[in-house]
Amino acid sequence: MDFRIGGIIITREKITQNRLSSILQKQLYKMADNENTNEYESLELKWTLPINSTEGMISVLQNIVFLLGYVQKHKCNRDYIDKIIENDLQPVISGLKDEFDFMFACIIIAVCGMTENFCDKETLMELARNVMGQFLNALEVCVKEFYDLEEHCTNKSAYTHSVDTSGFAVGMVIKNYKELCNLLGQEVKSGKSKKLQLEDFKRYFDWEKSGQKFIITDIYDTPLTKEDRRKLGNNSIYVKYIELILLQYLSKQEGYTKTFTKRNWWELLGMVNRKYNKISKKQLENIDYTITSYQINHFYQRCNKKLEQILFSALNNLKNRKLIIWEMQTVVVAINENGKEVYFLADDEDKKKILQVERYVLKNVMGYEKMIQVFCRFRQNEYYQQVNEKLNELYGWDHYFKQIKLIYTPEDVLEAIQQSEIDLQKEILNEKIINVLNENAKEKYDTEIKKWEETCRNLIWGDYKHDTKSGTWKIPDTYLEAQRILTDELINIGHKKNRISLEQFEEEEELNQLFTSFMC
């Protein structure tokens, strides 16, 4: 690595032996006259002690300038120079601190590279002061940057590495917030600080609450950024697509109702293909060696959750616009005496029976508190099999499943299609603009960071003159985050309105099964 001071390149080889006396001796040798035979006489240099004080270092600089001019003017030979170093210089400067010693060595290299006339003492002293001033100014900037970076890294390290989720497992139950903090090595907080802390925890893992308990539902290999956290709940553009496709589909149907299972709605709307949840695990595992039973289970768990969010958000948006009514229905399947399946909609009494059995299997058979624990451990098939076996034992039912029924007015649906098409195009355009603005902010940030880094290098090793008119500034570390927030707040036409909130579904009957893989 090479450094630059005052426009002069200082190579690693030059500063390996960075003692002031060694560097000065080499520079004086370049001016040595081998034919000069004058005998050495003490120069009786004037020093201000202590040598490491401000006045002491000024005297060092003055004597260096004097020696450069003296050797050039008197054409001293190498032996003479050696005796000057040994008798007039070394006894005093040996007491210089290493960092000051290095600084003066660099100043000598810079000054000697910028002029060949060392006899003009005033000009040479001014040049040396300028180089030293740049050096000290750069050090001040560098020290500030160093401590800012050290503080940032320390805080980041203390916070990031202390959020240690290695002892967590998906489905794990933690009895309360205090125990959660203890397991993570975090301080127990209250009020707004606690709320912000929990929001940050969401970058590392996700959970579902059961009273005071935390049930771990997901653990991230790499912590999410704040931008990632915002994107988790923003499905606006997908919702618009689903709304339009759904309206177009309904407009072509006869009657005013349509009923499908959730999985069939996904396929009809183009969210999944015909193989989704129908092809066997064995067939999937045979596709590639990387596909295992775990990978398949995790895939369905992840996709089901996301697809449900998008579908139910679209249904609720249409419901809020009074274009549809949607409701969850429970269908019970029984086998008659001829061995054929008989379907009927469960009434309130039937639903009560199903609920009692579901609770019994969840709590007494599997030992869990909430359904999320079943899904996190990929035991949903086992759970529903035991529920169905118990229902068959008690009531002779074979199985049951959920379906979504839509009720709509064809005329209103037709009228709404045109506006939905316009809204979708707006959403697409708006999203493109948001992406462009965020990319532009990233380019601006990267450019300014490069300019600042170059400025710092020039301040320390170059000839950059620091002034307020230069326009050089250190772009804040928070720039990108602030720009994203402002873009979201001021540009995003779907800001906050179309964020997914599962709480909106809690009032709907039977929607405690929202994340259940419905049996088709």
DSSP for 218-252, written as a single string: EE-SSPPPHHHHHHHTB-HHHHHHHHHHHHHHHHT
Rounded Cα gap, residues 140 and 178, in angstroms: 44
* CA quadruple 378, 380, 383, 389: dihedral, nearest 10: -130
DSSP bridge partners of 456: none
- The dihedral through the CA atoms of 217, 223, 229, 235 has a sign that is negative
What's the count of helices (H) and strands (E) in the chain, helices before strands? 19, 9
Distance CA 275, CA 273 (A): 6
* pLDDT computed for residue 299 by the predictor: 82
What whole-number distance in Å separates Cα of residue 163 and Cα of residue 171?
18
Give the span between the Cα atoms of 265 and 260, in whole angstroms. 6
Q: Which pair of structure tokens corresponds to residue 520? A: 């088709």
Cα–Cα dist 106/88, whole Å: 20
> How far apart (Å, rounded) are the C-alpha atoms in residues 310 and 316?
10
Question: What pLDDT shows up at residue 227?
Answer: 56
Cα gap 390→187, rounded to integer Å: 46
- DSSP, collapsed to helix, strand or coil, labels residue 3 as strand
From residue 208, alpha-carbon distances to 188, 205, 518 in Å are 19, 11, 21
Asked if residue 435 lies in contact with residue 491, where contact means CB atoms within 8 angstroms, the answer is no
d(CA 242, CA 498): 13
Confidence (pLDDT) at 472: 53
CA distance 298 to 423: 34
- What type of residue is 500? I
Nearest to 142 by CA among 271, 246, 284, 3: 3
Q: What is the pLDDT of residue 503?
A: 37
CB within 8 Å of 15: residues ≥ 6 apart: 3, 102, 105, 106
Task: Tell me how far apart the alpha carbons of residues 140 and 407 are, in angstroms, rounded to a whole number.
Answer: 72
Q: What type of residue sits at position 306?
A: K
Helix axes 348-360, 380-395, angle to 10 degrees: 120
- pLDDT tens profile 206-227: 888 888 889 888 787 777 766 5
Using one digit for the tens of pLDDT, what is the confidence trace for 94-127? 788 877 787 788 788 877 877 778 887 777 887 7
Question: How much is the pLDDT for 1?
Answer: 39
- What's the pLDDT score for residue 518? 35
Q: Which residues of the chain have pLDDT under 70?
A: 1-18, 134-162, 225-237, 455-474, 494-520
> Whole-model pTM above 0.85?
no
- Nearest CA-CA partner of 492 in 443, 439, 435: 435
Distance CA 316, CA 318 (A): 5
Contacts within 8 Å (CB) and 24+ apart, 385-394: 386/361, 387/354, 387/357, 387/358, 387/361, 390/357, 390/360, 390/361, 391/353, 391/354, 391/357, 394/353, 394/357
3-state SS, residue 323 = coil
Place of tokens 């779907």: 494
Give residue 226's pLDDT. 63
pLDDT at 81: 86
